[in-house]
Every structure is written in C-alpha cells, then in structure tokens.
Amino acid sequence: MDLSAVLAFLSRIATVLASGALLAAVLMVLLWRLRAQRDQLQEDLARARIDVQFAREARRQADLRIEQAIADANAANRAKSRYLVTVSHELRTPLNSLLGYAQLLGDDPGLPSHRKRAVAVIREAGDHLLNVIDHTLDIARIEAGRLNLDLQPVAFPELIDGLVRLFEMQAIDKGLDFAFQCEDRLPAVVRADGRRLRQVLINILGNALKFTQQGRVSLHLRYARQMAYFEIRDTGPGIPAADQSRIFEAFEQGGGADGPPMAGSGVGLTIARMLTDLMGGRLQLESTPGAGSCFRLKLFLPEQLHAVPTQRSRVRRVLGYRGVRRRLLLIEDEPHDREFLEDLLRPLGFLLSTAASAEEGLALLDSFLPDLLLIDIDLPGMSGWQAIREIRASRFAGLPLAVLTAHGAERPASRPRRPAGTDDPPPEAGKPADAPGVLLAPGNFLQKPLRVEDFLAWLGDTLGLEWIDDPVQEELPVPPASDLSPLRHQVHEGYPRGIEQALDALAARHPEAHVWLAQARALAQRFQFERLLHLIDQAEQTAERAP
C-alpha cells in the first residue's frame, strides 16, 4: 500500500476521532445545560406549587372572611328588623291610647272650642309620628322582601275622587290652586292594592304640595290598555340635576335649588319609588330649578269587569246602636288601652267586661257569655295565640273574635318572651311557634293604634249593628222626665253609690234607653257630675217633646 495513502487514511481517521471528541464535548455541554435547566424548572415548579398553596390558602381565608361578612350582615339585618319591630311595638302601644283619647276628645261636643285646637295638634303630631313609624317599617319590609301586595278589586274613580278632595282642601289652606284632569273614561273597578296605590299617590302629591309655596299643583290622569298614567306637576323651586336621584334615597331631603331642607322624615319619595317597583310600575322625575317638577307614574291596573269592590260601611259620630245590648269581652294587659276602649264602648251601650290576662279572660267566658272577643296577643303568661287555640277547641269555637296587635300590618306577631321559670331563649321575634294563622280572617287583625271610625265600622259589620249616628234625624230613647228625679237628686248629693243605684233602677224599668244610660254611667264613673246634670236636662227636654 502506498505510504501516502496510508497517511491520508490515518489523517481521515484522526479527523473523525477529533470530530467525535468535539461532538462529545458539545453533547456534554448541552447535557449539562439541560440538567441545569431541569433543576431550575424543578425549583421553579416547587416555588410555583408553594405559591399555589399560598394562593389557595389566601382564597380560602378570603372566602371565610366573605362568608363571615355575609353572616355579620345578615345578623345585623335581622337585628335591625328585630329592633324596628320592637321599637314599632313600643311606640304603637302608647300611641293607641294617645290617639284614641285625642279622637274621643275631638268628637266631644262638650269640649271648649279653645281646647279643640290643642286636641287637634296632639292628634296631628301623633299621626305624623305614626306615619314615620309606618314608612320606616315599610322600607325594612321591602328591603327584606317581606312586603306582599294585597290585590283586591278597587273602586278606582272613588279612590281618585277621595284623593282629589283631600288635596284640594290642603291646597286651599295653603293658598294654592289644585287642578285635576282626567282623559277619557276610568274603569269602575281595577285590580290593585288600594292601600299601597293610595300611599304612593299621597306621598308624591304631598311632596309636591309641601315644596310649592305659590302657584299650583296639578294631577293629570290617563288610562289606556290596562295602564294608568299619572302626571303630578308643581310650580315649586325645582330640583337640581345633581340631586334628582338622591331625593329617592331614604332620609334624604331637599329644599329646592337654594333653600334649606324642609321638615319631614325624608322617606316619602323613597317609599313611593319602592312601592312602584314592587307593583311593576315606573316612577320618573323631570325638574328644572326655578321652574317646578314633574313626576310621571306608570302602573299596570287591569280593569275588573264583573268584580265588586270590597266596601266597609262608614260611620259618623256614633251615639249608639239599635237593638239588644251586645256583650264584649276585652283581654288586654295594657291599663291605658283598656281604659280607652271602655271609655269608647260603654257610652255606646255595650256591656263590656275586661281582663288583664288570658287566664282571667278565659275564666269569664262561661259567666259573661260574650257576643265578641277582643284579645291582645302580647299577654303575660298564656299568650293570646294559646288562648285562641283553647277557645277554638271549646264550646265557644264559633265566638267572633279579633286580635289586637301593635306589630306590623303584614305580621301580627308576638313579642319574644322568655317562658316563666325556664332558661330557654325566647322565640325569634315575628315567628311565634303557636301562631294560629289559619284561624282568623285577615280583617280580624286590628292594628294599634286603633282608628275610632274604622274600628266602629268593623264592629258594626261584624256584629250586624245598626248605628245611631245622626241626632238630627232621630233622637235617642230616654227615660221619662218623672223617673229622672231620683237620679238628679243623687247627682246633686254627689253620692256615687246612689247614682249607680238610680241608674240600675232606670235600666230595669226602661231597657230601651240603654244608650242614654250607658252615657250617663260613663260620666258618673269619671265623676263628671256637671256634664251628667246637663245630660239629664237634655233628656227631660226630649221627654217633654215626645208625644
């Protein structure tokens, strides 16, 4: 073999070996780098796993904080609701006797004229306080989703006419013009919650009237395709654009473009907007500072062609009722409320027996044999609900009865009470375990404070009474003048026992004069002898005119 060829072959071999060594070195370097990257990735992955664990723990802690915040908010909301319910009850209870006596005094013909204004102020202040309570509770009920609409056939034209008459008088008193315009025909009956519809319109119209100092307030109504369109305009100071959304917030007030806030609770428009939304309607505002405001209300009020609206008989100043005397049993633990109802009912001719506890009232059933039972729910010892259950399970199961409650209209609940002699916690407010909701019709829950006119209307409807409420058309039966002399003598002597005996004798001889005798007894029990003598004088004059 040629030496040069061998050398060339060896040279190629050396080249190949050299290339392989270089390649090996390159591969070793690449392998080292890959291992380094792998270690780095593993380290990064470990750190990422730690970060993920920290993130998961942080999210879990955040979820726990959110859950706790929600629980705290719900607890605060329940506490707020319980507080509002308790405050409402504690305010309504004294308001019942306060407003009740104000109504009785206001209707008393013997009250001096200079005192009538003072009584009217007391009643107006009490009504204002009651409206603030109702509005505040309405906001809480709507926010909690516990306010339900009571959809009934409503006499639509009568509702509107009543509102127009109300605000015409208020406008005249303030020196303003009030204009009402209705397009086309209104349906005779619509399906709606009449109380809430009236509340919305009163709040909007009342707001317009309050802020308008001169000029006019107008109500325009159009009804088409089952929809009612209301437009309330005023010539008041107007509302700046920046405040037009704020006035619908609770407890926010405005005084116009430049004026200070006016007196009021600041919840009227809030309630109006909330109730409108609840009824599926729409309330809009357009206002220009210095040029007045316009509220547009749109509500779905379907016409009821064959429905008859529920109407309760209305009464004027009642003097008594015709027919046999009715027996009423009142179970009420509040002394002032008992006294108010006694002063209201006894002069009208009712035989009234009272009890301060359910146990005492149940014991009177067999001996007194009432025609109607009025019972408070919040009673010491046995609750009103428990007493109702016992009555419904006895021979008095058919006895007409009504519940007196100072709680909200939608929930005649019982105050939470701790059972005597136990350490058990009281039941949650508004959820008494023994509430027999199926035993009474909704109309038999009478909410305090009682409105005398509404209460007497309910009483007349329930007992089928024929009221004597017009002294001009018919005079009350009175005992003969000759039989009144013994009573007059005892009144002059100022002897209460003798007066009572004289009245008993008159009642035995002249049962037809039970209304007059009840009024005389009420005056005697309050030692109002001068007024009793005046009542005797009137009776003698009436007896002399009789044929």
pLDDT score, position 299: 94
Task: Decide if 143 contacts 84 (C-beta within 8 A).
Answer: no
More confident residue, 420 or 50: 50
Q: What is the pLDDT of residues 481-495, one digit of tens each?
A: 888 888 888 888 888
Q: What is the pLDDT of residues 190-219, one digit of tens each?
A: 999 988 899 899 989 988 998 898 899 999
Tell me how crowded residue 379 is: count the other CB atoms within 10 A of its CB.
26
Q: What is the pLDDT of residues 25-40, one digit of tens each?
A: 777 877 788 888 888 8
More confident residue, 90 or 224: 224
Task: Decide if 205 contacts 217 (C-beta within 8 A).
Answer: yes
More confident residue, 430 or 165: 165
| Two structure tokens written together for 290 | 């210095």
Which helix (H) or strand (E) element contains residue 394?
none
Give Cβ neighbours of residue 515 (< 8 Å, ≥ 6 apart). 319, 320, 321, 348, 349, 468, 476, 477
pLDDT score, position 426: 38
Q: What is the pLDDT of residues 276-299, one digit of tens each?
A: 998 999 999 998 888 899 999 999
Residue percentage of the chain with pLDDT more than 90: 17
CA angle at 54 for the pair 50 and 56, rounded to the nearest 5°: 115
Sign of CA dihedral 414, 417, 421, 423: positive
Check whether 256 has a pLDDT greater than 60: no
Q: Where do the CATH 3.30.565.10 domains begin and end in the chain?
A: 152-256+263-300
Mean pLDDT of the chain: 79
More confident residue, 21 or 399: 399
Q: What is the pLDDT of residues 229-255, one digit of tens each?
A: 999 999 988 888 877 777 777 655 555
Q: What is the pLDDT of residues 147-177, one digit of tens each?
A: 778 888 999 999 998 888 888 888 887 888 9
Question: Considering only 58-67, 186-195, 260-269, 385-394, which range has the smallest mean pLDDT?
Answer: 260-269
DSSP-based three-state secondary structure for 441? coil
For range 458-466, the mean pLDDT: 89
Check whether 15 has a pLDDT greater than 60: yes
Q: Where do the CATH 3.40.50.2300 domains begin and end in the chain?
A: 321-415+437-453
pLDDT score, position 253: 57
Task: Decide if 437 contacts 414 (C-beta within 8 A).
Answer: no
More confident residue, 359 or 533: 359
Distance CA 253, CA 248 (A): 9
pLDDT score, position 468: 79
pLDDT score, position 310: 60
pLDDT score, position 520: 83
For range 104-130, the mean pLDDT: 74
Check whether 92 has a pLDDT greater than 80: no
The interaxial angle of helices 268-278 and 113-144, nearest 10 deg, is 50
Q: Which of 80-84, 228-232, 426-430, 531-535 has the highest mean pLDDT?
A: 228-232
The interaxial angle of helices 156-174 and 194-211, nearest 10 deg, is 20
Task: Decide if 499 contacts 490 (C-beta within 8 A).
Answer: yes
Distance CA 425, CA 415 (A): 13
Confidence grade of residue 406 (pLDDT, cut at 50, 70, 90): confident
Distance CA 358, CA 377 (A): 9
Q: What is the pLDDT of residues 299-317, one digit of tens each?
A: 999 998 877 666 555 555 6
pLDDT score, position 6: 66
pLDDT score, position 524: 83
| Two structure tokens written together for 376 | 């408070």
Tell me how crowded residue 211 is: count the other CB atoms within 10 A of its CB.
23
Check whether 259 has a pLDDT greater than 70: no
Distance CA 486, CA 471 (A): 26
**Backbone region of residue 467 per phi and psi (left: phi > 0; alpha: psi in -120 to 50; beta: other values):** beta
Check whether 416 has a pLDDT greater than 50: no
Q: Which CATH architecture has domain 321-415+437-453?
A: 3-Layer(aba) Sandwich (3.40)
Distance CA 275, CA 197 (A): 8
Check whether 186 has a pLDDT greater than 70: yes
Which helix (H) or strand (E) element contains residue 178?
strand 177-183
DSSP-based three-state secondary structure for 161? helix
Check whether 73 has a pLDDT greater than 90: no
Q: Show the 3-state SS of 410-428.
A: CCCCCCCCCCCCCCCCCCC
Residue percentage of the chain with pLDDT more than 70: 81
CATH topology of domain 152-256+263-300: Heat Shock Protein 90 (3.30.565)
pLDDT score, position 418: 38
Q: Which of 70-79, 89-98, 110-119, 234-243 has the highest mean pLDDT?
A: 234-243
More confident residue, 507 or 309: 507
> Residue with structure tokens 């707020």?
80
pLDDT score, position 428: 36
The interaxial angle of helices 529-545 and 485-493, nearest 10 deg, is 160
For range 364-392, the mean pLDDT: 90
Residue spans of beta strands (DSSP E) within 108-158 = 152-155
